[in-house]
Structure 1
Amino acid sequence: MAIATYCLVAVDCPDPAALAEFYAGVLGGEVRRDSDDWYDLYAPGGHRIAFQRAPGHRPPRWPSEDGSQQLHLDLKVPDIDAAQEQVLALGATPLDLDDKDGSRGFRVYADPAGHPFCLVTG
């Protein structure tokens, strides 16, 4: 028997409203404001990501010499080239786009608050 039920992932950031809107642009869904410091994205499929204001937020470094990314999201896409154009237009920053002509199966970006995320194929 499970001890708990998954509820959400909370992401620290300097501007929760803006980051929630970025991910709504990527994933779809509805953004709901709880307070100026907390926004939720209710994504299709019942997934929920929360964005909380973190004063003094420092984004993780990628790649990091110590290997820590803090956390990252893998987002499955049917067409990585089209998805890349769209996330860059929404404000993502490319970190590692060398997918080895598709054999690696992912590309790495940073969201507007600096958190790494991957677009993944297959």
Structure 2
Amino acid sequence: MSGSTFSVLGADTAIRGDISASADLHLDGKVEGDITCAALVQGESSQVIGAVTAETARLAGSVKGTITVRELVILKSARIEGDVHYDALTIEQGAQVDGRLSPRAAKVPEHETHLVLAASQD
């Protein structure tokens, strides 16, 4: 695995501030701030208060904030409060998501936008 690196924030770690990592991030602690990384693996006891942006994420803890991820797995222990933007999504039975789920790649054609707007004016 040449060139692959990862960072670990243990359960005893609490960070207030944004995190930007070009590597993969394994998070078991608490972060109050935005997280940007290649891949995020979140442990069950972990808390994030802020936005998450990553290529892939596997969430098992608590997230309060907007999530923007290409491939997202929400495990049954996860508690999400905030909007979720994704390309591919897997949610285990028992996971809690309080927010909007919307695919990032979904582009509404212009003619459909007008139909939706016209229908909503009634």
TM-based fold match above 0.5: no
Which structure features the higher share of strand residues? 2
Which structure features the higher share of helix residues? 1
TM-score in terms of structure 2 length:
0.24
Larger gyration radius, structure 1 or structure 2: 2
More RCO (CA 8 Å, sep 6+) = 1
